Amino acid sequence: MKLTIIGLWGAYPKVNEASSGYLLEHNGFKLLIDCGSGVLSKMQNYVQPEELDAVLISHYHTDHVADIGVLQHALLVKSYLTDIKKSLPIYGHNLDEEGFAQLSYKEFTKGISYNPDETLQIGPFTIQFLKTKHPVPCFAFRIEADGKSFVFTADSAYQPEFVEFCQDVDLLLSECNFYGNMNGENAGHMTSIEAGKLAREANVKHLILTHLPQYGDLQQLLKEASEEYSGPIHLAKMGDVWNI
């Protein structure tokens, strides 16, 4: 699998960047995970909207879905400009009717609800779900293909259930919205120390911190997480590509 970081900021994008958005590719299949603010613009550096095969949404906070509408407009315009005519499947949960309804648009996108209790196959990807600890319904994804594994925590406070869910994965893309001296419990986010602790307890092979805060010294997040986890750690960075 090949992971490209498109957007990594929590809550809102920093100037010229994007909030949550990740491109996961395998055997030519292109899956966009989350479609936050700024993602459609930045995504076009790596893939064109009409080239996407599917989209997978963790939850309906705007930093994860703000660009769904413009993605739909892009597909409408591209349908006039190119020969590519297809309906793009957008997978999301249906625990929020209003949020789920926005995934469908004319013949261009079709919202498909995933059942978090069941394993889902999207192209080459086998996907399992874990409900996270967040103010609105939100799901983490464990994605496997050809014997490799990847977890995206989406937005969540720390919860012990993550340890089994992330066990031994090749790459853990963990949210890390708060610094070590903060408390993410009420906001539904993890600190750097919790992300590091999770990586250690789950014995993951590589940790990438994402959903980053716009303030403070981000290097401090790395330092704090590495006090818990001794494996390789990186901060998510726009345009970085990781082979899993």
What's the CA gap between 226 and 135, in Å, rounded? 28
Minimum CB–partner distance for residue 5 and Zn ion (Å) = 15
Closest to Zn ion by CB, 130 vs 145, is: 130
Could you say whether residue 17 binds Zn ion (CB under 5 A)? no
What's the CA gap between 137 and 151, in Å, rounded? 18
The answer to whether 200 and 236 have CB atoms below 8 angstroms apart is no
Closest to Zn ion by CB, 13 vs 124, is: 13
Closest to Zn ion by CB, 75 vs 103, is: 103
| Interface segment toward Zn ion; rule CB under 5 A; list 85-93, 103-111, 153-161, 229-237 | 153-161
Could you say whether residue 194 binds Zn ion (CB under 5 A)? no
Closest to Zn ion by CB, 25 vs 155, is: 155
Could you say whether residue 155 binds Zn ion (CB under 5 A)? yes
Closest to Zn ion by CB, 143 vs 176, is: 176
Binding mask 35-64 for Zn ion (x = CB under 5 A): --------------------------x-x-
Minimum CB–partner distance for residue 101 and Zn ion (Å) = 19
Closest to Zn ion by CB, 63 vs 224, is: 63
Minimum CB–partner distance for residue 26 and Zn ion (Å) = 25
Minimum CB–partner distance for residue 124 and Zn ion (Å) = 27
Binding residues for Zn ion, rule: CB under 5 A, are 61, 63, 155
